[in-house]
Amino acid sequence: MRSTPTHRAEYEARAERPYATALAGRAARPDIYAIPGNHDWYDSLIAFSRCFCRPERGFAGCQTRQTRSYFAMRLPQDWWLLAIDLQLGADLDEPQVQYFQRVAADMSATARVILCVPEPRWILEDAYPQHSTYSESATVEFLESRILKRHAEVFLTGDLHLYKRHANAAGIQKITAGGGGAFLHPTHAPATHTLRDGFTQQAAYPDEKTSSRLAWRNFLFPFLNPKYLPISAFLYAMSAWFASASLQVADTVDLPTALNAAVRAAIRDPFYGLWLIVFVAAFIFFTDTHVRWWRVIGGVCHAVAHLAAAFGLGWLSLLVTTRGFGLEFGTVSQLLVAGSLTFVLGGIVGALILGLYLFISVQGFGRHANEAFASLRIEDFKHWVRLRVDAAGSLSIFAIAIDRVPRQWRASERAGARVELADDPVAPRRGSLIGSLSAVRVAPEEPLAVTADK
């Protein structure tokens, strides 16, 4: 698949322009290195390669020095930063294997490794133990045992838009730091306090109490996601239309009679029956679980809730038009007014039910974390990770956070910058979430939410 102008425009708008604005006016600029994530592979790395793997072009006015989607960097005091590309899978292709074999040959016997990987497979595999299409662990084990012939002491990744650090008794750190993502992921769901191979959670940002409190915003789903309203409105209107198409005047005497007629129509009418099958199947497919029986139960319950609401709104519209407005049942005017009412109310009610479903899923079962928080559009709680190697060879890793991102911007007069802050700047807070890694020992932890750095 070739890169389209849209891909290039998105890279320029969402990646290069923010960096160029932040670095505008600075004489000294850092070098830029990057590894691709899943979205970068959607166009076979064409846009990614153009941005990061062409040193003569550069990125946001900074120098890029890699020519591949993976790299190795020698740091001070015999530390090495290695970044691998797993190409939407969990295997290293042969050119990448040969590249890291050459890198390993340059390492001393005492060299220590920081390994960057595209996604936190240690969290994902633990959250979905029944379904793992591949194992990043096996790939990393191959890299460590067969190529590097040593264990990495620190793992760094992004992908999930949160901060979490896990460690084992040997002091090996696994850090998920995706704080630059477009929205916030929850830290309380799925639960990751204890992972396989003895890794336990040491820190999370935002803290789990805050994350759980934010999940309640799903009850505002219709207001936070107005573009979804036409979708649920259409589904409700179609469902009510099929259910009422075969109703006669005698079927409208009361709700049980109308419901019985609608069920009979679903059994006898192939088009209505097919609509219901597709409707329920769509919600089964949407359910976030890899346990087949639970997916069926959860999907059917979710679908039935929507179908019941659609039928209820259709019945309410029937009563309003026939008894409230005095329109004769089955006339064009009655059908149009009833359909319009079902469409409008269906958009709101359908969105409310979806928000309730996502809330129950993330709070009660630790599922739909992506959907439940993507719908909240939370831009705050950004963070970055900074590494420092001192003269003694100790590695310190800091998480720098901004609880609330700026909301107001204005045109900038600075050279190279298009916008600048128009509201009060937000002071970042720095927490020594990891402490100092010296001889693979971790200093006492200092939570991010405590220490302020102005």
DSSP state of 67: S
**For residue 194, pLDDT beyond 80:** yes
Average model confidence (pLDDT) across the chain? 85
Higher pLDDT, 232 or 28: 232
- By percentage, how much of the chain surpasses pLDDT 90? 52
User: By residue range, what is the domain housing residue 285?
Assistant: 217-374
Q: Is residue 56 part of a domain?
A: yes
In 320-415, which ranges are continuous DSSP H helix? Answer: 332-360, 369-374
CA gap 358, 353 in Å, rounded = 9
**C-alpha R_g of the chain:** 27
Peptide bond into 270 cis (omega under 30): no
Q: Beta strand pairing status for 79-83 and 112-116?
A: parallel
The tally of domains found in the chain comes to: 2
**Residue 78 sits in the same domain as residue 194:** yes
**Residue 269 sits in the same domain as residue 179:** no
Residue 66 tokens read as 């890699």
The type of residue at 338 is A
Confidence class for position 168, pLDDT limits 50, 70, 90: very high
Q: What is the pLDDT of residues 347-406, one digit of tens each?
A: 999 999 999 999 999 999 999 999 999 999 999 999 988 888 888 888 888 888 888 888
Q: What is the pLDDT of residues 262-272, one digit of tens each?
A: 888 888 888 89
CA distances in angstroms from 419 to 144, 179, 236, 403, listed in the order given: 45, 22, 44, 21
**Residue 149 sits in the same domain as residue 265:** no
Q: Is residue 409 part of a domain?
A: no
Read off the pTM: 0.86
DSSP state of 426: P
**Residue 343 sits in the same domain as residue 239:** yes
Q: What is the pLDDT of residues 118-134, one digit of tens each?
A: 989 888 887 776 545 44
**Residue 192 sits in the same domain as residue 315:** no
Listed as own residue / partner, the contacts of 269-272 with beta carbons closer than 8 Å and 24 or more positions apart are 269/242, 269/245, 271/242, 272/242, 272/243, 272/245, 272/246
**Residue 41 sits in the same domain as residue 169:** yes
Rounded (10°) angle between helices 255-268 and 270-286:
90
**For residue 255, pLDDT beyond 90:** no
Asked if 125 and 119 touch (Cβ cutoff 8 Å), the reply is: no
**Residue 189 sits in the same domain as residue 283:** no
Q: What is the mean pLDDT of residues 246-252?
A: 83
Backbone angles phi, psi at 166, to 5 degrees: -120, 150
Please give the pLDDT value at position 448: 34
